[in-house]
Structure 1
């Protein structure tokens, strides 16, 4: 949509979200980080182009911050201050590169975003007793989470007045990319501006308007890691189960990026669908597990990690605590989160999933049934037996056996786990381990059958 400009009105230099993403990708080509197979999981960054004015001549600070440029509206001769960039967003399965992530400066973070020498975390490292307290599913949507600071009333009033003075159609309609001004303010992290814009769009029933990739403002806030804006939008009635063109809900995106603070906000809403499937057939729990696996794989291979492995493991724990099912299987491969963790050689996640007892579980799970579930005929023990050369193979198999894995189970090719072991001394030792477990299981069965 295009609005004609008067001869006295100059277009604002602030680029649209689409242009900002294009600029970001051009910058990435000149500074590409070491590649890894899961680099697409890295969260994107979105900044203004160099040389943009940092102030708005003759305008107030809030008007400078709220100035939005697109073919839809041209409110004033303003530019967004270059000192306050915010992350951009794209769908989570087609992200390119590994740009630097920069969280909100006034919010607490989980770990250092700079690469650090890796020290394998213990199970006791998972600490949820931070100021960002967990609010369980079923809590009132109107309850304020402990970490959500109040809106700045002065900024909110000024933002509301600014929007009220704009042409009505310019504040409610979408540009050629489907962006409303709410999408842009949300992506920039301008909380009071986004709140005022959300109130305007809600009044015309367009709070969940979608841009060209199917993202509502809530999905943008999640992908940009703005937990307070996520809270505000939910409070105003945004649809928590809305999905983008890839079937990703807000829970999928938060789990995929490993944004535990955003996830806590989302899980405070009782209507969040924990078992929603994206178009890859995965639940948010699968996304959280894959994100952690990608992080650990990068660490194990000596790649450049974003240092948020603990936070991503926290996301897995938050979903399980809220009631996500361990028994959920991917639609494409029938894998559970345990299958995914074992296949990727992620010993940290395997330890976590098989912790004794399974703490904080809202839904009862038969551990033996869980461990022996099949994914296209393969149990987790089959997959562990196929991890030739993995330094954690033996520990992984011991953990599975201690939790009831059955070595006698055969896959679709009528093959037991012992037949998938590597050749050589190491394989022979593991084969003895499986035989001992198998013999012990048979003796137990016989003793149960003959109590005398």
Structure 2
């Protein structure tokens, strides 16, 4: 039985009459281990199971960080009953946020079923969604998104970023590391795929492509283009938006994505990114705050001439709009 109303959590028990240990919302919760965990906690000093240590950790934080699921569930029940399920440690993390960073999707789901605050944030303003997106944990992200519409997809951390921005930036970091180490790094390849899936999951659940960072006004497209993240650029520009042209031409402090692509000097994906943007309606005549069109920002010399090769008509369009100053 999945609890969708947190108010039901106080009266719900995973071992109710007629229930098996294989629960629909948490199929691997072991009923015997859970009972043992409850007995263990009942034998402890009351303050130990409900209070916080010098770092602000409760026993729930500790069990969660160690991935001790049944112990965490029993501790969560105890803290829920005294109204301390969302107690925060010294970095502002609730047990739910610790479960996210520890990549424990089952514990995340358990805590949410018991009424943990899904939109609680740490000292950096990061919610469970921000953290799952940043670390690239698809299983955890899915557990959180299953609580829609309670979870706030557009929550901002203290840097002014939504979870989607965090996912895009994190994917870019991994792609850059992959380009440095080479495609032979299977672990990085796997992590890049997981992080891209997090971007996809957020978008499929309704995260806004048009959301802009508060500090820089960048959208996810700006973020992807600025880092030369060709995989993410390809994915974003394949999304069938009715207002794709408006999306592509959005400005971040005066710069369109096309301006940023023109500034990717030496990046092996510059030409393809320019072509992709132009093919999706990027306007090469738009000027930034310095009155530059994208063509003015292209590298000079041989590299710039190669980018404007006549065999690439879309990039020629970029140059055809350039005015001489």
- TM-score, length-normalised on structure 2? 0.86
Is the counterpart of residue 329 in structure 1 residue 208 in structure 2? no
Task: Name 1:196's counterpart in structure 2.
Answer: 74
Shift of 1:184: 0.1
- What 5-or-longer segments of structure 1 have no aligned partner? 1-138, 359-363, 441-452
Is the counterpart of residue 288 in structure 1 residue 167 in structure 2? yes
Is the counterpart of residue 224 in structure 1 residue 224 in structure 2? no
Is the counterpart of residue 411 in structure 1 residue 288 in structure 2? yes
Separation of aligned partners in 1, 2:270 and 2:319:
18
Shift of 1:289: 0.4
**Matches for 1:403-442 after TM superposition, within 5 Å:** 403-431=280-308, 433-436=314-317
Given candidates 253, 258, 262, the residue that maps to 1:381 is 258
Given candidates 173, 190, 195, the residue that maps to 2:51 is 173
Separation of aligned partners in 2, 1:199 and 1:422:
61
Shift of 1:434: 4.4
Cα offsets for 1:295-348 (capped at 9, x unmatched) = 000011227764311110000000000100001111111111111111101100
Shift of 1:165: 1.7
Separation of aligned partners in 2, 1:333 and 1:145:
46
Given candidates 167, 176, 194, the residue that maps to 1:311 is 194
Is the counterpart of residue 244 in structure 1 residue 122 in structure 2? yes
Task: Name 1:298's counterpart in structure 2.
Answer: 177
Shift of 1:150: 3.4
Task: Name 2:227's counterpart in structure 1.
Answer: 344
CA change 1:321–1:146 in 2 (3 A) is farther
Count of equivalent residues: 295
Separation of aligned partners in 2, 1:145 and 1:276:
31
Shift of 1:430: 3.6
Contact kept? 2:125, 2:158, Cα under 8 Å: yes
CA change 1:181–1:365 in 2 (3 A) is farther
Contact kept? 2:295, 2:318, Cα under 8 Å: no
Greater fraction helix = 2
CA change 1:437–1:353 in 2 (3 A) is same
- What 5-or-longer segments of structure 2 have no aligned partner? 7-21
**Matches for 1:128-277 after TM superposition, within 5 Å:** 140=4, 148-270=26-148, 271-277=150-156
CA change 1:323–1:379 in 2 (3 A) is same
Cα offsets for 1:399-433 (capped at 9, x unmatched) = 00000000000000000000011112441354464
Shift of 1:366: 1.2
Contact kept? 2:271, 2:315, Cα under 8 Å: no
- TM-score, length-normalised on structure 1? 0.62
Task: Name 1:69's counterpart in structure 2.
Answer: none
Structure with higher RCO (Cα < 8 A, 6+ apart): 1
Separation of aligned partners in 2, 1:259 and 1:410:
39
| SS of corresponding position for 2:181 | coil
Separation of aligned partners in 2, 1:312 and 1:306:
10
Separation of aligned partners in 1, 2:23 and 2:164:
23
Contact kept? 1:248, 1:278, Cα under 8 Å: yes
Separation of aligned partners in 1, 2:153 and 2:227:
24
Task: Name 1:85's counterpart in structure 2.
Answer: none
Separation of aligned partners in 2, 1:437 and 1:390:
18
Shift of 1:147: 8.7
Shift of 1:164: 1.2
**Matches for 1:48-59 after TM superposition, within 5 Å:** none
